[in-house]
Chain A
């Protein structure tokens, strides 16, 4: 735990040093959902029939911004670069598991990004006069649980994509393909309730929804009772599955790995 916190602290300090980058990254994170929100509001203002009301759209997109601060990962290309260049050899000898190192690095950076992002989101809360959804305490607890799992899930997926570099010369195609599917199916760009029912049923069984949309749906009261239990179980299932996948990729990848000095 001490080593994990040490890595997180180093990443935090690194983030503070490059605070301009963190601010710009946070701005980029917010622009996308903000544009979609404004477009949806324009549709509603013109009398368009939408599955969510104006208030719900605003709440949805601003909650998505909050979730994406935590549920974000960017390590796959760095992992692939480390494997390709042989720099990962250094991690094989460090007294900390590689997964713990990557999580610590991710969380440390996120703390800095969260600072800048939350200020901006607070300003938008005030501008759009957003009201907090009238959600009961139990739902908030489950939403927070789902929120935490969402963060770990996206990092696990990202690390697994990066570890494919043990077998592939360039993981960019996999990374970019995931980004496209994530953009469409996670609910980050468009609320999943906009899609037809049969497509929404498919989304229930895919991991993308549980990275962004699901915690937001719990807060907005769109997932309750039995459906809430099923949703959390599926989210946990994907988290465990990707953890097992990570273990397999890491173990088998090390067997294949060669570097100068090995």
Chain B
């Protein structure tokens, strides 16, 4: 198992270098993209500050706690996209053209290669901005600290990473039937709901976002730091395992549908 782990970390490293060199091929584009990412992340930060500063408390959330939630989401989701990049967006064209063989025939796990073959190192800047916003908001808030807070935060953060990945992977896998990435694009758009604390939405939406597990992406994590724990606070690791297993089984099932250009 240790050997396998080392092997996949090495492959991940190689894919990272490949993606970095590819992005540096068009340096001007990369610089513009970095500015764009910084600009639009900061614009959303300003928007959120402008929205929520108009009311002192919204459904129990202050402006600073909402910013904390935004920081958690941005750091987490952008961090995920550093590794995912355009891989899932590129899956549908590869399936349509029968060109997925190049990745399926390699001596490594297919889902792993399909997920991480087109990374976006540029998203690191968004991740860093997310962490800065997180630290800024954390500094302004009275954080509830006991022996459980930080370990629970770390476990929930990692679980959220896994849940987000699995959620996106499931929708990307539908490309084997639809031959387009529209469903994946829709799932990606839907995830951005989690940049807001979901408690501010109407009750029906909160129940919906507990089933589509958006509430576990950032809201539960932020609640933990603010000292608000309930049953949902301890569910995310188990949910992460369930989602990972399901996404894996679904991908394996979908691969049976694939026929390559030479089949």
Contacts and interface: CB of A to CB of B under 8 A. Distances in A.
Tell me, yes or no, whether A binds B. yes
Given A24-B185, A172-B29, A43 B59 contact: no
Contact of A24 (B50, B52, B183, B196): B183
Contacts of A169: 26
A80 B262 CA distance: 29
A190 B47 contact: yes
Interface residues of B, number: 33
A180 interface: yes
B33 to A, nearest CB: 6
A248 interface: no
B40 A183 contact: yes
B58 interface: yes
B186 A27 contact: yes
A39 B202 CA distance: 10
A40 to B, nearest CB: 7
Interface string A176-201: 11001001100001100010000000
Given A20-B182, A35-B192, A42-B201, A176 B57 contact: no
Contact of B32 (A24, A40, A173): A173
Contact of B52 (A43, A172, A184): A43
Contacts of B51: 39-40, 43
Interface stretch (A5-13, A44-52, A136-144, A227-235): A44-52
Interface in B43-66: 43, 47, 50-52, 54-55, 57-59
A43 B28 contact: no
B166 interface: no
A43 B54 contact: yes
A178 B50 CA distance: 23
B175 to A, nearest CB: 12
Nearest to A178: B36
Contacts of B192: 35
A31 B205 contact: no
Contacts of B29: 170, 172-173
B173 to A, nearest CB: 15
A49 B190 contact: no
Most A-side CB within 10 Å, residue of B52, B58, B59, B180: B58
A24 B54 contact: no
B39 interface: yes
Given A21-B180, A31-B190, A173-B33, A48 B58 contact: yes
B36 A177 contact: yes
Contact of B33 (A38, A176, A190): A176
Nearest to A18: B180
Contact of B189 (A28, A48, A170): A28
A42 B58 contact: yes
Given A35-B193, A190-B47, A28 B185 contact: yes
A194 B200 CA distance: 20
Contact of B54 (A50, A172, A189, A190): A50
A31 B54 CA distance: 24
Given A28-B185, A47-B55, A190-B47, A173 B201 contact: no
B59 A32 contact: no
Contacts of A172: 29, 33
Interface string A241-253: 0000000000000
A226 B45 CA distance: 36
A48 B43 contact: no
A56 B47 CA distance: 19
A189 B40 CA distance: 12
A32 B178 contact: no
A212 B202 CA distance: 28
Contact of B59 (A25, A42, A173): A42
28 contacts: A20-B178, A20-B180, A24-B182, A24-B186, A28-B189, A31-B186, A32-B189, A35-B192, A39-B196, A39-B200, A42-B58, A42-B59, A42-B200, A43-B52, A43-B58, A45-B58, A46-B57, A48-B54, A48-B58, A49-B55, A169-B26, A170-B29, A176-B36, A177-B36, A180-B39, A183-B43, A184-B40, A184-B43
- The list of the 7 closest CB pairs from A to B, nearest first, reads A48-B55, A48-B54, A173-B32, A24-B182, A46-B55, A46-B58, A42-B200
Given A31-B186, A42-B200, A48-B52, 10 more contacts: A20-B182, A21-B178, A25-B182, A27-B186, A31-B189, A31-B190, A35-B196, A43-B54, A177-B32, A180-B43
